[in-house]
A and B are shown apart, each in its own frame.
Chain A
Amino acid sequence: MSVVAPPDEAQAVDGPSEVATPGLERQAERAKARQGFLLGLPAILYLLVFFVIPLGVVVAYSFATRTRSGRTELRDWNLNAYARLGDDIVLTVAWRSLWVAALTTVICILLAYPLAYFISTRSAVTRNLLLVGIMIPFWSNFLIRTYAWRVLLDSDGLVTQMVQATGLGDGRILFTTNAVILGLVYGYLPFMVLPLYAAIERIDWSLVEGARDLYANGWGAFRRVVWPLSKPGVVAGSILVFVPSFGAYVTPAILGGNKEGLLGSYIVLQFLSARNGPVGSAVSVVVLVVMLLGTLLYFRAGGKNL
């Protein structure tokens, strides 16, 4: 500060008697921002080391060169790996993944909606009990639960035997895409139920009464009031189920067959067996972009206030 400071500026450094000026306001804002940054620093460092840098590596790999021996070398940047994405095998696997993810999502909506509706119309105590019930599966490891399905679906597994007993078929679905969908629905159903519950529970019940008063029958009130108002929950749940289903690896690896691969296993295949880092990375990048678009959609649909 200059020696001949204007009077009000001189006052400003006196502490309690500070007079607010645009300069001071900006200064205070900057201090606050700095404080926020310091608080976030550990998390920022963590994400940088374990997320941003590996992601950068994957993106770099997708433009890198593969040597004859299968090594990935970071030189002669090219789009060869992306050109391979048009291959029949990649397209087939991508479409199948898309289909599996879409079907999983639809089945989850059909199962979760009535359940979420039921839960959100119970008394507070029942509601909390049921919600805890929904989350119980999270208490045990996802991998173990998926292996449990393998046991159940085995040729002499409990589920297979029960299906055979009812005479509906031979019940042998292990190592098929159907088994994968079953496993995915099982694994991701809670991620559909919870946002749906949150959305339905928030609906003002008097709106339904209003609709009934205006000549809507039960179905009309649902179709025109409850469903549209719960849509943010449907969108949120769909993205929470679709995104991980699309790139799923564990469930298809354990319950799916070799014949009908999905994107997750295709990427692993490229890195490990085919020793083609660039193609594996390129597929990963595309999957990532698709998921990112999905997530953007989620925020656009008002998922923020979930």
Chain B
Amino acid sequence: MSVKRYSSMEYDNFEDLLFGHSKYPVKTGLDLEIGAGYTTAEINYAPRPNAAENQATLVNEYERITRDIMERMVQVGFPSVVLETEHVQQMTHNPEWGADIANAQKAIMEDYHDEYGIKCALRHTVGDVRGDREKIDLRGDAYSRILESFDQVASSGADMLSIESLGGKEVFDHAILRNDMRGVIFSVGILGALDVEYIWQDICNIAKKNKVVPAGDTACAQANTAMFVAGGLLDFKLSHSMASVVRAISASRSLAAYEAGAIGPGKDCGYENNIIKAITGYPISQEGKGSTCAHSDLMGNMSMQCCDLWSNESVEYRGDFGGTTVQCWGETLSYDCSMMNTALEAGVGKTLRDVLMVSDRYRDPQAFILSYDNAYRIGEVITAHPDDLYLRAKEAGMKACELIESGSAGFLELSKFEKATINKAWNDLKSLDENKESFICNCLDTYSSEVDTFNTSNYGL
């Protein structure tokens, strides 16, 4: 498969972006269609720590999780559900474990589908096990194991394939702690995108062979790291404007998966998916207030604005007062979906979308740039430079700076510190090299010496 760059937006207007609707819905699993006029909960879980002892205990744990979710969904009358199994390391390292689990989960889902007709599908997110203790080896043995794992889960019952890929992380970790914009562009915009397009060509081939959906990636290791280090309003770790700029740039990286053939729904933790949907027209999964079990993100309502799947990120499986955690969170997510679906049926979808969006729009610069109108504007500058990964990442970053700056003339209040950092980030971006070749060449020099684990052969450079 080859890489086809986006040079225009699939949506003509940001007003058309809406939850539950995408230009290119995805049919998958047992009668499910994603982005075809309704939203569906995507429930995500982690096994209890001691459940991963051996293959049998782990399969058993996922069977219980799956049965608990399906049972609660029919008990409360929800029409559809997606389950996402994010591999614990053992499952990817031993591809047959992952396969066994996909198979066991799917069997239970089929039973419920047969009996009640509930529409459902299973996503497996293979662990990116390419970084071990000593080094990051993106194209070696661990990579073969990942592909083997994809192949096995795809042939054993998984309907959608995803990964949270690591490419660019070694340089990014170094750069983000030093407010180094150049390193951010290089790690996310160049290294990350190169890795994403490399692996997604292979994943798409595997998906095609097994007739399943190559769903998409996320810049979790980069943009979410920045978001986590930035933390809440009163944390003084990283400027939230800086985290916003990283987010905008990360869209250029995640987009590479779709350019290599992925068709959505992109992974829940990719908050950049708002931008991706505007560019590609593919459905997306998102998380927000339903993922407070996993983290706090300052845009819990807003991230529902254009979602097609609505997720909880991850919750450890255990008992809670209202059932097991997967039942409680699954029910919460599904009620949200029910509300969105009702709004769509009643013809007030866009009103609800706007209420959700405006309730967080000014909470933080990160929410501001991801509000659907602004997300669309970032998409426009990315697609304006289809043949240049460097320029499109840089322009995305500069657009975020511009949006935040102009937003601060309105209701987006910025602290003095945020104002200063956004100006600095903007100036840093403006003063970067003119062209990709010299940029890459300079970066190779700097980061080969500053970052021990950075190895150019990982990126074919």
Asked whether A and B interact, the reply is no
